[in-house]
Amino acid sequence: RTVIRTQSHKAEGFNELRFEDEAGEEQIRLHAQKDLELLTLNDRTEEIQRDSHLKVHNDRISEIDNDDHHTVHGNRHMKIDGDDHLVISGSRHKKVGQAQLLEAGREIHHKAGMKVVIEAGAEITLKAGGSFLKIDPSGVTIVGPQVKINSGGSPGSGSGQAVESPLLPGHAMAEEAAHVTFKAPAALLKQDYVLHEAAMLGESVCEVCESKGSA
């Protein structure tokens, strides 16, 4: 095991980069005592050959300046404990191979600026209370205690949408090379010297590895 650790200045804590090289337990661990910023000036490619786990204890904010492509070859499960807001400046296209099933606890409100078209190959049914209207190849069926046509009354109204726009993320700040200074801690300088000497002599300097090897 190889560990590179720097202590926080005038405070408890540390930043650490650890390499575990024990057979069957290989691991690279990065510990940031406070913030971690990653800046890639070109492409970033990541491939995980098993599972990926992510837990964010506060907010997660992301922004994509161009397109976003996401493919799931199995099932997708999503749970939202609060509200879900979606803003689309253009058109939305959605295709479902089998059935689309939607249930709302209180209200469903659809509104269009020009027209709404509901089309079915075999049947359309509107049902409320004990009354319903059914349209199928046999004709139009209207059932209810009373059927009123031009007999007064007024249409119902929906709540309307109140969508909220998302927040934009912060950015990792690029350092200007002319102003960047790096001073390696004494512990790192000593470690670099020891590693270099060991490499020249072909010897091991990892006490943990040596103790395991001699056990």
Work out the pLDDT band at 169, boundaries 50, 70, 90.
confident
Does residue 170 have a pLDDT over 80?
no
Residue 103 tokens, joined: 């249930």
Does the pTM surpass 0.85? The reply is: no
pLDDT at residue number 180: 44
- Tell me the helices (H) and strands (E) count for the chain, helix number first: 2, 6
Task: Report, as an integer, the average pLDDT of 40-69.
Answer: 94
Residue 35 tokens, joined: 């913030």
Give 20's strand partners.
Answer: 27
Opening angle at CA 77, ends 73 and 82, nearest 5: 145
Q: Return the domain boundaries, the chain.
A: 1-35, 184-214
pLDDT digits (tens, 9 = 90+) for 92-102: 999 999 999 99
